[in-house]
Amino acid sequence: MKVALLSLLSEQEKEFIPPWVLRERLHLTWEEISETVLRLRLDGYTIEGGHEKGYCLSRRPDLLLPTEVLPLLRTETLGRNYVYLPTVGSTNDLAKQLARTGAVNGTLIAAEAQTGGRGRLGRAWASPRSSGIWMSLILRPELPPTELPKLTLTAAVGVARAIGIVADLPTGIKWPNDILADGKKVCGILTEAAVSDGKTDFAVVGIGINVNTEQADFTAELREKATSLKEVLGRPVSRSLLLAATVGELESLLNQLYADNFAAIRAEWCRRTVSLGQVVQVAAPTGGFTGRAVAIAPDGALIVSREDGSEIRVAAGEVL
Ligand code: BTN
């Protein structure tokens, strides 16, 4: 009912739609309409009017409510089950919990704020209220655990594409999955998986995008390395449009990945990366070293060439 009423009110935003039009178009009683208006107002919509003039939508909230996001989705699977929370510890933690209790493939979890947002390598992820996209997708991919790094690279390409489409901003990907704008990080991706008997039960792809985050929201240490789309562009970006575009791009890329066409995704990743050809400092689980990033292996590992001519394959770790 909420979506139908909103879509009718949106046809003529800021104009009153008379009661009889609302009743006829929605096939609802006036009581049902007024009750829905009340619930929308509680969600944060500004709707003026009453039983004499009808209703007029004068302001939509800048929130990732289902009523804002679902009408924008053009996907078949991803996001069709949408779990939205004003506050959560970590969307990845909730996603893993839901996945363990049977949540369907493609379930999307998004929150306005995270109180315990997690980054890679055990770091915290700043997730201030309503300033970014803090989301996790539950996937049940037909991929063996060894091929899961492909998911993260695929997600990075999807986010980079979506930022290009919605914000018209070129970005670079830093191996394995940081998205940079103006040389600073605007997005991080944390993929986690549950594996049993050598098979992937599920994967959770957690994506954090600093959309309209202000510098003051970052810690002093982060300020040097992190930025937001708003800061780079000098104007805010619609979070709901970016969320819907990200999920849309991801669905088409995942279909490509499952159709055994990772090569094309890898090629796009290579076109978008800022890591290849650079001298990089690698922090790998086995220790740190310096070398030149020369290639991405078919499974997504970074190939680093050292001064002595040897090549090291880095499957997990970070480029500093
Ligand atoms: C990184 O270290 O670069 C990865 C950051 C991933 C952050 C996102 S925000 C949504 C999801 N929930 C989390 O707790 N983390 C990921």
Interval 66-81 mean pLDDT? 97
Interval 3-30 mean pLDDT? 94
Which residue's alpha carbon is nearest to atom 16 within ligand 1?
206
Q: What is the dihedral of CA 105, 110, 116, 119, to 10 degrees?
A: 70
Q: Which of 83, 135, 190, 243 to mutate to test the pocket of ligand 1 (most atoms within 8 A of CB)?
A: 190
Indicate if the pLDDT at residue 76 is higher than 90. yes
Least confidently predicted of 47-61, 150-164, 292-306: 292-306
H or E element, residue 30: helix 30-43
Interval 178-205 mean pLDDT? 96
pLDDT tens digits for 83-108? 999 999 999 999 999 999 999 999 99
Least confidently predicted of 101-105, 143-147, 156-160: 143-147
Residue 128 backbone dihedrals phi, psi, to 5 degrees: -65, 150
pLDDT tens digits for 259-310? 989 999 999 999 999 999 999 888 877 778 899 999 988 888 889 999 999 9
**Model pLDDT, residue 298:** 86
**Model pLDDT, residue 177:** 85
Residue 13 pLDDT grade (very low, low, confident, very high; cuts 50, 70, 90)? confident
pLDDT tens digits for 198-225? 999 999 999 999 999 999 998 888 899 9
Which candidate, 131, 114, 139, places its Cα nearest to that of 211?
131
Ligand 1 atom, smallest distance to 91 CA: 12
Contacts of 92 (CB under 8 A, 6+ apart): 118, 136, 190, 192, 204, 206
Mean pLDDT of the chain: 94
Ligand 1 atom, smallest distance to 132 CA: 9
Residue 129 backbone dihedrals phi, psi, to 5 degrees: -55, 130
Residue 235: burial class (beta carbons within 10 Å; 0-12, 13-18, 19+): exposed
Residue 319 backbone dihedrals phi, psi, to 5 degrees: -100, 125
Angle 119-265-261 from CA coordinates, rounded to 5°: 125
**Model pLDDT, residue 154:** 95
